[in-house]
Structure 1
Amino acid sequence: MNKILKINQIKKINGFIYLPGSKSISNRVLLLSAMSNGKTYLKNILKSDDTQYMINTLKILGVKFKRKNNTNNYKIISKGDSIFNNIKMNIFLGNAGTAMRSLTAAFCLGLNDIILTGEDRMKNRPIGHLIDALIQGGANIKYLEKIKYPPLHIRGGFIGGNININGNISSQFLTSLLIISPLAKNNTIIFIKNKLVSKPYIDMTLKLMKIFGISVKIKNNYFFIKGNQKYIAPKKYLIEGDASSASYFLAASAIKGKSISLYGINVEKSIQGDSKFINVLKKIGTLIYNNNNFIYCKKNILRGISLDMNDMPDAAMTLAILGLFSKGITNILNIYNWRVKETDRLYAMSKELNKIGAKIKEGSNYLYIKPNNIIKSAIIDTYNDHRIAMCFSLISLFKQIIIKNPKCVNKTFPNYFIEFSKISSFYL
């Protein structure tokens, strides 16, 4: 694929998609499997840059991965949490935020000498709140360049105790603390300051921890985790299809008024917060059908809405695109955490939506979108952000669009444009 991708106007869409495994679930269960002593069988692991950084690091630590035939199913063999002790190495994690944050915490469990680093964007993604929390639990961590940002020098030493952390920055910080706390020497109480953002991601973490044998007590504004525990592998675990990835195909169906079937996710049983995006689609005027392992939707009349999307920050970007094709104003609220993602998404989405012809107001934590009757063709800068590339591909349903750096989708959905071409008249 070239450095740019031109997608001509797509006149019709139809077909079905088998969704890749969830990135959020994949990286969590990969780490939990590594922390469990013995064998775990994981089915439908997402194949992407983010998961590959996690897998490569775990392999270096001695975790064995045996792939079944040519599938995304693996048998994972580990010696448990002891693999995170007595390690001296430099580890590069690209721009994989889930890997950087969770591995930062994991390496604090033992006594180590580790440098964690990544791409330039990773060096500008704040991690200070997590580091402060880990230090409260006894960890020895130093910043090597800019204070509160990677790269990090980690010597370990986390033993648990009472920890305070801001809940309104990134759910990944709390997830990282929750995952390591059962393995700490002492009991841990995590006190949450301010309102918890992206709560469904914390719920996901707790459900997965329980599947691996660990329960967490929750009371009001704190979590209690008993120390000196061990994770127990569930033998087999099927990773459900990625709900964030599903949002683009559902949006295509809503915009074009044609049905697309999605296989690999049951929205009634899903543990992903973005599975609730179908409720957002219903509110803006789509007809939704779902049954067991597939869902599809069909347009009625799309209308703008004002909605708090804090629980679905990734799918909120798809809603922004839908706002271009809706009657009336779309106001996406409580999305400050867009600013600490792969890029400053509030700034990036505002700038690129303006190119399409919409009237945009960018606030500190909201995005206001007033559609224009005429949607313009444009060259879209992706800021090396996979979700911006996938979102703006939907403009091709009405106008030709040019996507810069389309390979950035490798972060979570390497085959996205191939799959998109299957349901449209677009060919790579």
Structure 2
Amino acid sequence: MTGPLHAVVRPPGSKSITNRALVCAALAAGTSELRGALFADDTEAMIGVLTALGIEVSADPFAGSLRVAGCAGEVPASAAEIDTRQSGTTSRFTLPLLALGSGSYRVTAHPQMQARPMGTTFDALAEMGVGIEALGSDGHLPATVTSGRARTAVLRIAGDASSQFLSGLLMIGPCLPDGLVIELTTDLVSRPYVELTIAVMASFGAVVEQPDERTFAVAPGGYVATGYEVEPDASAASYPLAAAALCGGSVTVEGLGSSALQGDAAFADVLGLMGADVHRTGHATTVTATRGALLGGTFDFTHISDTAQTLAVLAPFAEGPVTITGIGFIRRKEIDRVAAVATELRRAGTDVHEDPDGWTIHPGPVAPATFETYDDHRMAMSFALLGLRVPGIAISGPGCVAKTFPGYWAMLDGLRPADDGR
């Protein structure tokens, strides 16, 4: 890379919003249209689940729109074979959804997803009178779900494993006769994702009250079909914004501004703390930076954990050590992300201390390397940024980005300045 960046990009639609909106639209009375939706492996997994359950979804990928004929809170199919593939949101949203059916359903997933915990949802559904039987390891997929429609309950669940468990349960609340109350027994990680869930639910007419930080009360009444605009993915936006901090220059992300719903939009504020200039309008965020002027520091990523790997690859170029805390729970994501990042940074000669809840990364030269992705899309997308600054960088298994950002490599190539001769 020979010059500063000057680019304007628009990431694809938010995976988190698309899958939440799909569930709410599927449970609504009437037909909804989702505009700006993401078309990627994770959202296709959710669409596949809804279709298998007898809910009609028509897609127009070129227009970025989905039409969903809602089931008014009652799952049509009385039996189904369901594959949630590699998608955590799909898996953790699907099992509660099945509680609104009457029948028997078999749910399986990609081996990587089968290794991820599901026990919180299993236990909650059992408390609601739903039959659930793991077909392999306890608390993991595959599983059989047998439901005669869930009964209303006051659920007590842990919030420190994944916010997806809470989100999945919240979304069925409006369809229960008396609503649903959920009390957390621990602090909640990734709280912005739960706030996002509640915001999407509200757009479809649902009401969730929070009398305190650990209690969520969902009112009955169902969902109403609507037209819904999906904003660009804030986690995906972290990569082009980080590129500006890494290489210098300016990158603007369209569609994500001061009104963004997603918590990961706060990643830009971390770049601001490290010395970059961050400017937001109502509908865009611009990061402008001087190459070689990143500051070190300690940053708590408890609530923006999907962008932790992005910051980790910037850390070797900072003026002082970078400590990222609050992310011990990402050891239970697609892979152990804490261990994987430490391993791959060391592959390039970076001094990394692996902490129980994150890393301390020391500045220093980054050597050419071929990085392993472990079939984790965020490993591929974050470590690829190093190729904008360091020659000789390669990514093993680049196709895994299709999980959430099929056009990632074209976007990354588009960041190169006009005078870059490579």
TM-score, structure 1 normalization: 0.93
Q: Distance in 1 between matches of 2:5 and 2:64?
A: 28
Given the alignment, which residue of 127, 131, 146 partners 2:122? Answer: 131
Cα pair 1:36 1:232 within 8 Å, conserved: yes
- Compute the displacement of 1:126 (Å): 0.5
Q: Distance in 2 between matches of 1:271 and 1:134?
A: 29
- Name structure 2 gaps, 5 residues minimum: none
Residue 260 of structure 2 aligns with which residue?
Answer: 270
Q: Distance in 2 between matches of 1:25 and 1:59?
A: 19
Residue 278 of structure 2 aligns with which residue?
Answer: 288
Q: Distance in 2 between matches of 1:427 and 1:63?
A: 50
Quick one: structure 1 residues 80 and 10, their matched pair in 2 at CA, closer, same or farther if it must change by over 3 Å? farther
Residue 407 of structure 1 aligns with which residue?
Answer: 399
Residue 70 of structure 1 aligns with which residue?
Answer: 62
- Compute the displacement of 1:86 (Å): 4.5
Cα pair 2:52 2:80 within 8 Å, conserved: no
Residue 94 of structure 1 aligns with which residue?
Answer: 85
Q: Distance in 1 between matches of 2:218 and 2:421?
A: 51
SS at match of 2:317: coil
Cα pair 2:52 2:81 within 8 Å, conserved: no
1:361 aligns with 2:353: yes
1:222 aligns with 2:222: no
SS at match of 2:361: strand
SS at match of 1:80: coil
Cα pair 1:109 1:159 within 8 Å, conserved: no
SS at match of 1:191: strand
Write the mapping of 1:26-65 to structure 2, written as runs, cut at 5 A. Answer: 26-65=18-57
Cα pair 2:301 2:308 within 8 Å, conserved: yes
1:131-180 CA-to-partner distances (Å, cap 9, x unmatched) read: 11221122111100001111111112421212110011100000011001
Given the alignment, which residue of 129, 137, 153 partners 1:146? Answer: 137
Counterpart of 1:138, as a letter, is G
Quick one: structure 1 residues 133 and 249, their matched pair in 2 at CA, closer, same or farther if it must change by over 3 Å? same
- Compute the displacement of 1:14 (Å): 3.1
Residue 5 of structure 1 aligns with which residue?
Answer: none
- Compute the displacement of 1:360 (Å): 1.1
SS at match of 2:222: coil
1:239-266 CA-to-partner distances (Å, cap 9, x unmatched) read: 0011111110001011111112221222
Counterpart of 1:377, as a letter, is P
Of the two structures, which has the highest relative contact order with CA contacts closer than 8 Å and spacing of 6 or more?
1
Q: Distance in 2 between matches of 1:18 and 1:47?
A: 14
Given the alignment, which residue of 172, 183, 194 partners 2:175? Answer: 183
- Compute the displacement of 1:315 (Å): 1.3
Write the mapping of 1:262-341 to structure 2, written as runs, cut at 5 A. Answer: 262-266=253-257, 268-300=258-290, 301-341=293-333
- Compute the displacement of 1:371 (Å): 1.8
Counterpart of 1:269, as a letter, is S
Cα pair 2:295 2:319 within 8 Å, conserved: yes
Q: Distance in 2 between matches of 1:324 and 1:303?
A: 11
Q: What count of residue pairs does the alignment treat as equivalent?
A: 415
Residue 385 of structure 1 aligns with which residue?
Answer: 376
- Compute the displacement of 1:280 (Å): 0.6
Q: Distance in 1 between matches of 2:284 and 2:182?
A: 38
- Compute the displacement of 1:114 (Å): 0.9
Once structures 1 and 2 are overlaid, which stretch shifts more, 157-166 or 345-354? 157-166
- Name structure 1 gaps, 5 residues minimum: 1-8
Once structures 1 and 2 are overlaid, which stretch shifts more, 214-223 or 278-287? 214-223
Q: Distance in 2 between matches of 1:60 and 1:127?
A: 21
1:294-316 CA-to-partner distances (Å, cap 9, x unmatched) read: 22212142111111110100112
Cα pair 1:125 1:149 within 8 Å, conserved: yes
Given the alignment, which residue of 387, 402, 409 partners 1:396? Answer: 387
Cα pair 2:120 2:158 within 8 Å, conserved: yes
Once structures 1 and 2 are overlaid, which stretch shifts more, 277-286 or 153-162? 153-162
Q: Distance in 2 between matches of 1:180 and 1:269?
A: 27
Counterpart of 2:289, as a letter, is K
Quick one: structure 1 residues 44 and 304, their matched pair in 2 at CA, closer, same or farther if it must change by over 3 Å? same
Cα pair 1:10 1:396 within 8 Å, conserved: no
SS at match of 2:73: helix
Q: Distance in 2 between matches of 1:89 and 1:60?
A: 6
- Compute the displacement of 1:69 (Å): 8.0
The share of aligned pairs that are identical, in percent, is 32
Once structures 1 and 2 are overlaid, which stretch shifts more, 318-327 or 166-175? 318-327
Cα pair 1:45 1:239 within 8 Å, conserved: yes
1:370 aligns with 2:355: no
Once structures 1 and 2 are overlaid, which stretch shifts more, 406-415 or 251-260? 251-260
Residue 213 of structure 1 aligns with which residue?
Answer: 205
Cα pair 1:62 1:78 within 8 Å, conserved: no
Cα pair 2:259 2:283 within 8 Å, conserved: no
Q: Distance in 1 between matches of 2:377 and 2:61?
A: 29
Q: Distance in 1 between matches of 2:264 and 2:9?
A: 17
Once structures 1 and 2 are overlaid, which stretch shifts more, 185-194 or 202-211? 185-194
Cα pair 2:41 2:403 within 8 Å, conserved: yes
